[in-house]
Structure 1
Amino acid sequence: MLTVRRRVTAAVAVILGGSLLLTSCGGSDSGSADGKTLRLWHYEGPDSAMGAAWNEAVKEFEATHPGVRVKFEEKGFEQIQKTAPMVLNSSDAPDLLEYNKGNATAGQLSKQGLLTDLTAEAAERGWDKKLSAGVRTTSRYDTDGVMGSGKWYGVPNYAEYTMVFYNKDLLGKYGIAEPKTLDELTAAMDTFVAKGITPLANAGAEYVAQQYLYQLALTKADRSWVDSYELYKGRNDFHDAAWTYAANTFADWVKKGYISKKSTGAKAEDAGVSFIQGKAPILFSGSWWFGRFRTEAKFDWSTFLWPGTNLTLGSGGNLWVVPEGSANKDLAYDFIDITMSKKIQNLLGNKGGVPVAADPDAITDPRSKSLIADFNTLSSKDGLAFYPDWPVTGFYDVLVSETQKLITGSEKPDDFLTALQKAYDKGVPGQ
């Protein structure tokens, strides 16, 4: 993903980015190498697990670095996404920022020489040892900007993955047990449709719809299939059995009423709110919703991994990257180190995040324990399959527009797959 933010905080952050800056961008100490200021950008809401953990990391950093202050600027995801290449190539570059992972984002910046090589720091500080193989994938990029090998250009200090969120109260009301198989999930959706309820919360204008599609494909895929698609280790064929099944099944689900035809213009926030309000009994989405649902949902809810496969969407979280033009790189490395500490990792876990280096015994919240346990299960099975928009630059927008056509029925599955193949092949390096 993400070429567009798969975070609940995105819409809020875009609005707040200009109004809640703790300090303005630039200024007299912009780019100052005085060793007394760490300029930090990130886009996590203060109430999110990551935001809470990183606020604590700021306090820890300043306590352990007397005379040094953190000059934090809250940015929106889209704001950083659209301006990063320009800003990082200027004197306004911060010392450290959160940035999106994947070939089309961090990979492109590393290829353009805008990010600092963190390989030596990762080894010296032990970051490489704290991250599992699946999580490490998005930290390293080769000379073509393709993730999975080469030098370290970013460090994720949390992880994320997708799951099925379901309203236990609504399922109970209609006598539906928690689905354990895809057939049982389908039967549950049939029951809801018969009661006049659209079972799946969806957002055709943003990432949610394409993630349903990709997860359906993953039920017919294996690791080599993922590597071909995401890492170019073999040719990706959008007319293969997995993609064909996904497109046909998705279109069929729309016809059956599992997914609303009116959801083409809905955004991720709309999908999440429809679940929070108890209107949609099921949402397939990511762990980034977990903390918010725990706070705002007024009914009993739970989660399960998508049935019938060991693969689901997920990866290490967004990356801490150090711009090549950072004036205080050593301070940036120290801050990353603090966010990887047990103290901050444990806090992140208890706030509803998915830490990468926490002490399991320190996580006391029952739901958080379950969230982390499911992630560990996925990680141990090499089950993180990344996100559908990652492989090539601009593919997110293609997936949005083409998936919208599947929802409206204006494009047949075969034509949909042909359009994806054309856009994908155009963006693969060396094609």
Structure 2
Amino acid sequence: MKKINKVLSLGLALSLTAAALSACGSNSGNKEAESTAGGSAEGKTKLRIYAQYSDEDTKGYYDYAVAELAKEMPNVELELEIQAQDDGQKLKTYAATGNLPDIFNTGLDLINVFRESNNILQLDEYVDKFGFKDKMLPSALNTLYTEDQHVYAFPYAGNEVILLYYNKELFEQNGVKVPTTLEEMHAAIDAFKAKGITPLSIFAKEKWPDVAFYDIFATRYNPAGINALDKGQAKPSDPGYKQAAQDIVDLVKAGLLPKGATNLNYDQAAALFHEGKAAMFVNGQWEIEASTKALGDKVGYMYYPAPDAASYEANKMAFSGGGNPGGYAVSANTKHKELAAEVASFMALKYAEFKVTKKGSPIVSTKVEKAVEKAYDPLMEQLAQDLPNMTSTTAFAWGLSNTKFKAAIEDASQALLSGSYTADQFIADLENGMK
């Protein structure tokens, strides 16, 4: 997967103090601080926080948020412990020993573990009290609420999405219309094949792009896409899901993909697109930077083609991809529940603010009112305008919760791109794999 994963330090602890003046009239706060283990000799309330802080990128987020916190809540002192890259093992150990930090960065997997063991604070009342929901992007509410419709973390990362990139110059030079329907997609395939150009490149050796490609077509029939299958809200044999598989079979047979597509890795597939040998490319929005660097203003992204014009317009803003609940959570055993929740929500908001204003990325969960300091690339600007208008997202393969379904659709969606597989086989393999 061509997506940067931050390398986190192991087993390190670092104390950082948010420098600021003491709040006026803080005598009662001083007494509370002095009477608890979380107190500070300076009259501030000290909170332990577990967060990423391992490279310039992750340090930038944290330092920005802490500096802003010092301005708004000078009565708070954060003691940072650097998040370890250990699949949450250190946090699980802390939970087991009753030593969870007051605030900790976490994802859905640990949320589910900790809510079962009553180690994570349910934040519903604080979401309302601090107006956090009002600050959420409507399209990103799935990152706030878990399946039980409660909140356990304040999110800052938004929904990542799958984009169907295309080379504008190749389309214009060859007189090809950017497809909005399957009929137009087939016409594009024929036109590019006649010119010796690969219509679409995909790194199908990795299975998650194959799942995403199937999801693109499934969302044209049911905007919930693979997410509905994962949650048991739809069946693989439902007409729309079977037709989506058939659409891909037909496109592959028509010559959509390069030979040996299921053996191509990212570097190989991306090279075809970046070098102008493929007209289209499938990847997440994180590809914007690489494709813009390679193609400049020649690169664009199209909305997914649909069976007909009516369904294209109806589901135009339904995107494949998504996100999960996660962000800054609060220990159920903290001595400062409301304050910790307020700080956690503030940190999440400032993380999103940093990402938009300093990093030039709109992929956040909450609204950001401050002006962007790093200008967006043109495609990122288009995505920034589309994000508030997205009607739904689905899920990436790595975000699927039904392990049997995940394994089945990864194999079946890859087979769909082989050119020797039928829609009936796809459905049968999915159903058998989910038993």
Alignment TM-score, normalising by the size of structure 1? 0.72
Taking the TM superposition and a 5 Å limit, the aligned residue runs for 1:124-143 are 124-141=129-146
The question of 1:214 aligning with 2:215 is answered yes
Q: Is the 8 A contact 1:159 1:355 kept in 2?
A: yes
Task: State the Cα RMSD in Å.
Answer: 4.0
Where does residue 418 of structure 1 map in the other structure? 428
Q: Is the 8 A contact 1:162 1:314 kept in 2?
A: yes
Q: Is the 8 A contact 1:201 1:272 kept in 2?
A: yes
Where does residue 203 of structure 2 map in the other structure? 203
Q: Is the 8 A contact 2:319 2:394 kept in 1?
A: yes
Matched letter for residue 387 of structure 2: F
Where does residue 121 of structure 1 map in the other structure? 126
Structure 1 residues 55-102: Cα deviation after superposition (integer angstroms, max 9, x where no partner)? 633543466657535444474xxx538x58855755686642242x5x
Structure 1 residues 13-65: Cα deviation after superposition (integer angstroms, max 9, x where no partner)? 4xx44xxx3xx325699xx967354220389x866xx9865563354346665
Q: Is the 8 A contact 1:320 1:336 kept in 2?
A: no
Where does residue 371 of structure 1 map in the other structure? 383
Summarize the Cα distance change of 1:401–1:166 in structure 2 as closer, same or farther, 3 Å threshold: same
The question of 1:340 aligning with 2:326 is answered no
Distance 1:122 1:273 in 2: 45
1:129 Cα deviation (Å)?
Answer: 1.6
Identity %: 18
Structure 1 residues 375-423: Cα deviation after superposition (integer angstroms, max 9, x where no partner)? 2222xxx333344662513533332222223333565332221222244
Summarize the Cα distance change of 1:343–1:408 in structure 2 as closer, same or farther, 3 Å threshold: closer
Q: Is the 8 A contact 2:13 2:82 kept in 1?
A: no
Matched letter for residue 50 of structure 2: R
Where does residue 3 of structure 1 map in the other structure? none
Distance 2:60 2:186 in 1: 38
Structure 1 residues 233-287: Cα deviation after superposition (integer angstroms, max 9, x where no partner)? 5xx2211211111222223333333124523244556545654454433123332
Q: Which range moves more in the overlay, 166-175 or 261-270?
A: 261-270
Q: Is the 8 A contact 1:98 1:319 kept in 2?
A: yes
Structure 1 residues 328-367: Cα deviation after superposition (integer angstroms, max 9, x where no partner)? 8755752442332584364168345356302387586454
3-state DSSP of counterpart to 2:257: coil
Taking the TM superposition and a 5 Å limit, the aligned residue runs for 1:98-247 are 98-99=106-107, 101=108, 107=112, 110-111=115-116, 113=118, 115-141=120-146, 147=147, 149-157=148-156, 158-204=158-204, 205-221=206-222, 228-229=228-229, 231-233=231-233, 236-247=234-245
**For this pair of structures, how many residues does the alignment match?**
387
Distance 2:183 2:393 in 1: 23
Summarize the Cα distance change of 1:38–1:279 in structure 2 as closer, same or farther, 3 Å threshold: farther
Where does residue 42 of structure 2 map in the other structure? none
Distance 2:139 2:69 in 1: 28
Q: Is the 8 A contact 1:131 1:357 kept in 2?
A: yes
Where does residue 11 of structure 2 map in the other structure? 25
Summarize the Cα distance change of 1:61–1:87 in structure 2 as closer, same or farther, 3 Å threshold: farther
Q: Is the 8 A contact 1:200 1:258 kept in 2?
A: yes
Q: Which range moves more in the overlay, 66-75 or 163-172?
A: 66-75
1:315 Cα deviation (Å)?
Answer: 3.5
Alignment TM-score, normalising by the size of structure 2? 0.72
Q: Is the 8 A contact 2:162 2:283 kept in 1?
A: yes
Q: Is the 8 A contact 2:114 2:120 kept in 1?
A: yes
Where does residue 4 of structure 2 map in the other structure? 9
Summarize the Cα distance change of 1:73–1:408 in structure 2 as closer, same or farther, 3 Å threshold: same
Distance 1:177 1:166 in 2: 11
Summarize the Cα distance change of 1:269–1:191 in structure 2 as closer, same or farther, 3 Å threshold: same
Matched letter for residue 320 of structure 1: G
Summarize the Cα distance change of 1:170–1:332 in structure 2 as closer, same or farther, 3 Å threshold: farther
Distance 1:25 1:121 in 2: 31
1:188 Cα deviation (Å)?
Answer: 2.0
Summarize the Cα distance change of 1:280–1:325 in structure 2 as closer, same or farther, 3 Å threshold: farther
Summarize the Cα distance change of 1:419–1:33 in structure 2 as closer, same or farther, 3 Å threshold: farther
Structure whose CA Rg is larger: 2
Q: Which range moves more in the overlay, 342-351 or 393-402?
A: 342-351
The question of 1:312 aligning with 2:307 is answered no
Where does residue 49 of structure 2 map in the other structure? 38
Distance 1:175 1:55 in 2: 50
Distance 1:361 1:206 in 2: 38
Distance 1:284 1:354 in 2: 22
Unaligned runs of 5+ in 1: 1-5, 142-146, 427-431
The question of 1:404 aligning with 2:411 is answered no
Distance 1:68 1:207 in 2: 38
3-state DSSP of counterpart to 1:80: coil
Summarize the Cα distance change of 1:287–1:154 in structure 2 as closer, same or farther, 3 Å threshold: farther
Unaligned runs of 5+ in 2: 16-36, 40-45, 306-311
Matched letter for residue 212 of structure 1: F
